[in-house]
């Protein structure tokens, strides 16, 4: 059973054999991602309230294990912005030992998720919920960087969002204009340097140039050394002090790390699948993430998960196997051993600039705006999760968001039942598909296309579509779609279009068709390919094949 659940992609590909060309491409991609990961790992660690080397150690140890043992070809693991809020809170309440214990417990939970085959379940979280807590985390990250971005003279920033804003307002008179200049320069270089230097990560170039400028002109801004002193160029194995009676205190923080780590890693893997046309092994990925979070803390690391931005960078630079992720970890190790001592000179305002760009990219403001404009029920989930993430706690936000999603789904189903919707079209059921030409596949969706079923429907539709020239999707029994269903359906249609598969719909109810129009799905499926009757759709599909012969 363990062998069926745990099949690392690296070993599968190793058995097939790597070509010399692919090894070179993966190695070059790994070096680029390693360079990009350097400033991010340091920035995430500092923003989390721990010393910079802990971020580097996490990117090295966890990054290697996630690539070596993971279920994705191209996943890059390490510290991420999503964990900043959680890690900061744990360190503040329980100290470094508490963080180590919580992370290790989370690792065991992730392994358990994988063994219980919960990998597919975590992918079914509603899209508005994910956008809500991701946008909330982005706002909280931004709020933590205001002090360093403006160079404010504040000894300790409060953890509560409201108190934080009040403190900034009270200390605004201590603003450091040199720090602001460095922050703005970092943001501008990070965003726009890619247009000139396509192979050099913008964050790395920004940190390098701003650090050199501060040293050359002796600008009066604080740097990493001001807060943390020297950055060690080595790491050691250590065991935290454990009070067994206090283990219960770490269950909730550990569960938060495990849930967020699982969701983030699988989201990243799904995004990567879309970019390379692959298919990750979700349960293997969870087990690998778990192992990484069990091992890394003993070397001084912090929680790790799949990093969407670094994974995308890997793919864009030619990475197609786990070799790229392994090389990324080795690159960081060499940088830490031989160049790490210079990292202490990095200005805090430069790190703030990098994290402001990260928080902007995390914010998903376009998705946030689209959800608010298009769906009342999804807007409730989005706003509730967002507000709770910012003002209360991420754990509470996820719990309430999931329960609220289920309740609103039941409400929508009850409303459908009360209206007694009976689709007048597509009554001519063809029970026997044996006479349908082999080049035409048929799939019927029965029930609502919503967050709990959307992923599974999408996987089946994509699998069928890949095997046929024409796919007819019958939707007479789909009473409504939610935003998660729309997103998964749209992604699937785009993927099948890339494979030149023709999609035909039959029996689409008016309210569902209206949602398709609203979310631009009809730009992917021509309205002439949508029929009330299945027989009409089948007849039309046969004429398409006749015409293309």
pLDDT in tens, 489-509: 888 888 888 888 899 999 999
**pLDDT computed for residue 88 by the predictor:** 92
**pLDDT computed for residue 1 by the predictor:** 53
CA distance 484 to 336: 42
61-70, 286-295, 390-399, 459-468: range with lowest mean pLDDT: 459-468
Asked if 454 and 484 touch (Cβ cutoff 8 Å), the reply is yes
For range 413-441, the mean pLDDT: 59
Confidence of residue 124 (pLDDT cuts 50, 70, 90): low
**pLDDT computed for residue 151 by the predictor:** 95
168-177, 304-313, 350-359, 402-411: range with lowest mean pLDDT: 402-411
21-30, 208-217, 317-326, 361-370: range with lowest mean pLDDT: 361-370
Q: Is 424 exposed, middle or buried (0-12, 13-18, 19+ CB in 10 A)?
A: exposed
In our burial notation (b when 16+ CB lie closer than 10 A, e otherwise), range 262-300 reads: bbbbbbbbbbbbeeeeeebbbbbbbbbbbbbbbbbbbbb
Closest CA to 286 of 422, 460, 114: 114
CB 184: neighbour CB atoms within 10 A? 14
Whether the predicted pLDDT of 34 surpasses 80? yes
445-454 pLDDT per residue, tens: 877 887 656 6
Mean pLDDT value across the chain = 87
**pLDDT computed for residue 365 by the predictor:** 87
Confidence of residue 488 (pLDDT cuts 50, 70, 90): confident
Q: 465 is written with which tokens? A: 């579509």
Whether the predicted pLDDT of 183 surpasses 80? yes
CA distance 534 to 425: 9
Whether the predicted pLDDT of 418 surpasses 70? no
For range 22-47, the mean pLDDT: 94
Closest CA to 6 of 113, 105, 80, 100: 113
CB 363: neighbour CB atoms within 10 A? 19
Widest pairwise Cα distance in the chain: 81
327-363 pLDDT per residue, tens: 999 999 999 988 878 889 999 999 999 999 999 998 8
The dihedral through the CA atoms of 381, 382, 388, 393 has a sign that is positive
Asked if 322 and 10 touch (Cβ cutoff 8 Å), the reply is yes
Confidence of residue 422 (pLDDT cuts 50, 70, 90): very low
Whether the predicted pLDDT of 513 surpasses 80? yes
Give me the residue label for tokens 């778990």.
290
C-alpha angle 422-428-431 in degrees, rounded to nearest 5: 110
**pLDDT computed for residue 47 by the predictor:** 92
Q: Which residues contact 523 (CB under 8 A, 6 or more apart)?
A: none
Q: Which helix (H) or strand (E) holds 445?
A: strand 440-446
For range 403-419, the mean pLDDT: 68
Asked if 214 and 342 touch (Cβ cutoff 8 Å), the reply is no
C-alpha distances in Å from residue 437, one per residue of 61, 74, 466, 472: 53, 38, 16, 12
41-45, 146-150, 204-208, 458-462: range with lowest mean pLDDT: 458-462
C-alpha distances in Å from residue 495, one per residue of 135, 204, 503: 27, 33, 11
**pLDDT computed for residue 54 by the predictor:** 95
**pLDDT computed for residue 412 by the predictor:** 65
Strands 502-506 and 470-477: parallel
Confidence of residue 424 (pLDDT cuts 50, 70, 90): very low
For range 262-276, the mean pLDDT: 85
**pLDDT computed for residue 24 by the predictor:** 95
**pLDDT computed for residue 121 by the predictor:** 67
Whether the predicted pLDDT of 522 surpasses 70? yes
User: What percent of the chain shows pLDDT beyond 70?
Assistant: 91
**Is the model's pTM score more than 0.75?**
yes
């Amino acid at each position: 059973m363990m062998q069926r659940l745990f099949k690392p992609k690296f070993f599968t590909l190793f058995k097939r054999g790597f070509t010399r060309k692919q090894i070179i491409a993966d190695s070059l991609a790994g070096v680029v991602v390693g360079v990009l990961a350097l400033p991010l790992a340091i920035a995430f660690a500092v923003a989390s309230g721990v010393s910079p080397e802990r971020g580097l150690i996490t990117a090295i140890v966890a990054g290697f294990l996630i690539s070596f043992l993971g279920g994705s070809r191209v996943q890059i693991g390490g510290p991420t912005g999503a964990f900043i809020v959680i890690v900061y809170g744990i360190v503040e309440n329980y100290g470094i030992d508490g963080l180590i214990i919580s992370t290790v417990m989370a690792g065991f939970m992730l392994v358990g998720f994988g063994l219980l085959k919960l990998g597919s379940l975590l992918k079914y979280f509603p899209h508005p919920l994910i956008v809500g807590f991701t946008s909330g985390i982005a706002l909280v990250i931004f709020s933590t960087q205001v002090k360093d971005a403006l160079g404010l003279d504040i000894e300790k920033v409060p953890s509560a969002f409201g108190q934080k804003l009040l403190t900034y307002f009270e200390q605004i008179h201590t603003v450091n204009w040199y720090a602001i200049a460095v922050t703005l320069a970092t943001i501008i270089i990070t965003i726009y340097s890619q247009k000139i230097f396509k192979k050099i990560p913008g964050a790395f170039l920004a940190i390098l140039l701003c650090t050199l400028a501060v040293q050359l002109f002796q600008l009066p801004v604080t740097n990493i050394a001001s807060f943390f002193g020297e950055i060690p160029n080595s790491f050691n194995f250590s065991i935290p002090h454990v009070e067994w009676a206090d283990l219960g205190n770490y269950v909730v923080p550990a569960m938060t790390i495990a849930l967020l780590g699982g969701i983030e890693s699988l989201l990243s893997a799904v995004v990567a699948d879309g970019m390379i046309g692959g298919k990750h092994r979700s349960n293997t990925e969870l087990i690998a993430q778990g192992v990484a979070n069990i091992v890394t803390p003993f070397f001084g690391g912090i929680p790790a998960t799949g990093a969407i931005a670094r994974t995308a960078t890997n793919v864009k630079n030619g990475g197609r196997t786990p070799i790229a992720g392994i090389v990324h970890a080795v690159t960081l190790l060499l940088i830490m051993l031989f160049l790490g001592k210079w990292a202490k000179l990095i200005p805090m305002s430069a790190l703030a600039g990098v994290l402001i760009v990260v928080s902007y990219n995390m914010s998903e403001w376009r998705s946030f705006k689209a959800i608010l404009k298009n769906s009342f029920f999804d807007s409730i989930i989005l706003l509730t999760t967002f507000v709770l993430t910012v003002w209360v706690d991420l754990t509470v936000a996820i719990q309430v968001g999931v329960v609220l999603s289920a309740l609103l789904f039941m409400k929508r189903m009850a409303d459908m039942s009360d209206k007694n919707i009976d689709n007048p079209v597509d009554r001519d059921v063809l029970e026997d598909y044996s006479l349908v030409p082999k080049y035409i596949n048929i799939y019927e969706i029965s029930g609502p296309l919503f967050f709990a079923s959307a992923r599974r429907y999408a996987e089946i539709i994509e699998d069928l579509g890949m095997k046929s020239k024409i796919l007819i999707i019958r939707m007479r029994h789909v009473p409504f779609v939610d935003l998660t269903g729309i997103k998964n359906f749209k992604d699937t249609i785009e993927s099948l279009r890339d494979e030149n598969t023709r999609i035909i719909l039959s029996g689409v109810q008016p309210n569902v068709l209206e949602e398709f129009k609203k979310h631009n799905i009809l730009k992917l499926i021509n309205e002439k390919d949508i029929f009330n009757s299945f027989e009409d759709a089948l007849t039309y599909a046969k004429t398409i094949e006749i015409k293309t012969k």
